Chain A
Amino acid sequence: MGKKIIKKRVPVRERPVEERLKGFMEVPYGYNEDEAIAEAKRCLQCPKPTCIEGCPVNIDIPGFIKAIAERDFERAFYILKKDDPMPAATGRVCPQETQCEVKCVLGKVGDPINIGKLEAFVADWARKNNIKDKPEIHERPQKVAVIGSGPAGIACAVDLRKMGYQVTMFEALHKAGGVMQYGIPEFRLPRDIVDYELKYLEELGVEIKLNTFVGLHIPCEEVREKYDAMFIGTGAGAPRFLGIPGEELKGVYSANEFLIRVNLMKSYLFPEYDTPIKVGKHVAVIGAGNVAMDATRSARRLGAKVTIIYRRTKKESPARIEELHHALEEGVEFMELVNPVRILEKLNQVRGIELIRMRLGEPDSSGRPRPIPIEGSNFVLEDIDMVIEALGTRPNRMFLDRAPFIARDKWGIIQVDEHMRTNQPDIFAGGDAVSGGATVIRALGEGRIAARSIHEYLTKK
């Protein structure tokens, strides 16, 4: 007791806005050793740490922070890795402000500990110093197929392989990583981090089969026959559209298309890379979640003026605070309480968007106030030449159509119990395929739970 409380966080140095907008470099520079230690020393080391409860995978947060404070970064790394297979990614993309940090006792009197940045610091330090878990693997003969190479699949594959199972990971695209490859831009998650994790997977002996869409290129039944168990981490990669008039026009994109072009195909480097991207002078991004922020900030970096169109207010935005903050810093206009009615055209090209004003009503099933249209309040936002719809995604129906024996709800979300077991004894699932769209950390956690359940299933079998 008697520890002096330091209310203010050690500030995070960030790339200046003008420099950010010139490319896709990561925005925060990250803590250096001294900054990390200073921030770690603020931690009160609560005897009953509430931050751990806030973490979906229950990382020993005070434990790794204590190790940082003692300058034992290697110990900090192994504490993190015990529960989180990819701390370099989660440190950057987790919504800490609604998970661990919101529970931090320091938050009541000042800034909560910057757990995310400390996590990223430790993981980056380990990567730079080539510190990694090199488990001794006792081989087992059973084979497990992991469908999808995103966070859920990676977490599941790593654990299963460490237990000695023969793991093959199937990826539909030409690059592994799932949403970390096609969805999240490099200024939030540099690709050397993703590549490093994938390399680690291969070093462990996980076989990665790219360009293989299970269900389309290989029947699900065939995979089921060849493998003793199957994990489905196919994500929620299918876009949603508003279904309003004008979506057929030139200049209308799903956020998925825009981000796949930019991230997976590196179209921001066209013509060095062959896939082009055309960005309007004034882009309207519909939605205010993380994907909307990613699209917004990518469009800014490609030189467009951007207006976010959101039917609620900033306060209800489901985006990470840091993303919203960075987007606003980068000069984005945010229109609150408006909803698109139709997209207007001129010569088959987007020219504007008709909006209706909204007001907030009683909370809906999401717990946020329900937006209600105000009759007769329609108006036109002129001079918009590109519309990006970031309305959330849903599981890819092509996989589900070809695996009819797996129980799912009417939206195509795979039904699992708390052990990530589906209705089929040999099939397990996790990540966005079972949540419809959540977080990287939740997917990692579910992949790990599934690995334990698969182990249990295979040892009993």
Chain B
Amino acid sequence: MAHEIVRNEPLNYQDYLVAIRAPEVAAKIKPGQFVVMMLHDKGERIPMSVRTTEGDAIVMYIRKVGKTTHQLIDTPVGGTIKHVIGPQGQPLKIEKHGTVVIATDSVCGHAWSYSVAKALREAGNYVIDIQCFADEKEVYPEWALNKNVCDEHHVMTKDGSVGEKGHYTTLIKQWLAEGRQIDFIYAGGELIKLKHLARITRKYNIPTWVEAHQLMIDASGMCGACRVFVGGEMKLTCIDGPFFDAHKLDFDSMINRYSTYAAEEKIALERYLAQKRG
């Protein structure tokens, strides 16, 4: 029942590629869906984006943020975790839109954007992929980027140390102002930036779907923790999402409630790190 870790490689100083054997999930997962992991009997259930599959393993990008992600990354190849549950959520509808932009600025975005870009390209779209990082230190090695699954690839850094300077919001805004044809946008990552993107693309009426982030426990429609408001209607990120129409999504309430447990997450992490130090 336990799931073996088959790859665990650094992408930068804080992000890791982790591949975990989960044959039933790997056989069924579709672009846009996610998994829930629970490392051990006392663990929490955490949702995680999936980049792709390799044989019977799912490949994820994971940042050391809280206790669970630290503990996962600290588990070496050959080690196991207790539960991998999935696929969860709605798969994205892969249709031919024309020109599609996929834009991400976070570790989970860099993960799901790969399979989404690949599928959209195979469906005949011209796929522009924008991957944003803070700086040179954060940029992934070339093999870990989405270059080979899109028609046009942009790496951006806040400080311009690698690739173009700025953020996907600035680039998309510029393209739209210049009249560049964009038929659909998928984006994920920092919620505040997604909110900003929605404001930009609403003006041009460009369909924009973004990955919602909300607290999640069972991730199967039971707890209601992941409720978000889309066009005034309550939706559950776990079963209706995780992708929603950015022009209808209430970002403010999502951003607000998402941070409910920030203090407790800090406590758990500090306790774990202290235990690790002995």
Contacts and interface: CB of A to CB of B under 8 A. Distances in A.
Interface stretch (A234-242, A320-328, A376-384): A234-242
A213 B261 contact: no
B260 A256 contact: no
Interface residues of B, number: 42
B234 A274 contact: no
Given A174-B83, A274-B268, A275-B44, A217 B28 contact: yes
B65 interface: no
Interface in A148-192: 172-174, 182
Contacts of A257: 217, 223-225
Contact of B223 (A216, A239, A250, A276): A239
Contact of A237 (B222, B256, B268): B222
Nearest to A259: B223
A303 to B, nearest CB: 15
Given A239-B223, A266-B42, 14 more contacts: A182-B222, A211-B84, A211-B85, A217-B85, A237-B222, A238-B221, A243-B234, A250-B260, A251-B260, A253-B225, A254-B223, A256-B223, A271-B271, A274-B43
14 contacts: A182-B218, A182-B222, A210-B1, A216-B220, A217-B24, A217-B87, A247-B227, A249-B256, A253-B225, A257-B224, A260-B217, A260-B222, A276-B264, A396-B221
B223 A260 contact: yes
Interface string A269-299: 0111111101000000000000000000000
Contact of B253 (A248, A274, A275, A398): A248
A216 B88 contact: yes
Contacts of B44: 265, 273-275
Given A174-B83, A274-B42, A265 B221 contact: no
B189 to A, nearest CB: 22
A398 B256 contact: no
B67 interface: yes
- Residue in B87, B223, B229, B239 with the greatest tally of chain A CB atoms within 10 Å: B223
A226 interface: no
A237 B239 CA distance: 13
B131 interface: no
A100 B257 CA distance: 45
B188 interface: no
Contacts of B234: 241, 243, 247
Nearest to B225: A257
Interface string B255-267: 0110111001101
Contacts of A247: 227, 234
Interface in B30-45: 38, 42-45
Interface in A47-68: none
Interface residues of A, number: 40
B218 A278 contact: no
A248 B222 contact: no
Contacts of A265: 44-45, 217
Contacts of A182: 218, 222
A409 B130 CA distance: 47
Given A250-B260, A266-B42, A274-B68, A217 B268 contact: no
A397 interface: yes
Interface string A134-152: 0000000000000000000
Nearest to A266: B42
A398 B224 contact: no
Nearest to A389: B224
A239 B267 contact: no
Nearest to B38: A174
A254 B257 contact: no
Contacts of A173: 218, 220
A172 B220 contact: yes
B250 interface: yes
A248 B28 contact: no
A348 interface: yes
B145 to A, nearest CB: 31
A256 B271 contact: no
B86 interface: yes
A237 B257 contact: no
A398 B223 contact: no
A261 interface: yes
Contact of A271 (B1, B24, B223, B268): B268
List of 4 A-B pairs having minimum Cβ-Cβ separation, nearest first: A276-B264, A248-B253, A254-B224, A257-B223
Contacts of B220: 172-173, 213, 216, 396, 398
A217 B27 CA distance: 10
A398 B221 contact: yes
Contacts of A256: 222-224
Given A257-B217, A261-B217, A276 B265 contact: yes
B217 A278 contact: no
Contact of B45 (A174, A254, A348): A174
A248 B84 CA distance: 29
Interface string B1-15: 100000000000000
B43 A278 contact: no
B223 A248 contact: no
- Residue in B28, B84, B250 with the greatest tally of chain A CB atoms within 10 Å: B28
Contact of A248 (B24, B38, B229): B229
Contacts of A276: 261, 264-265, 267-268
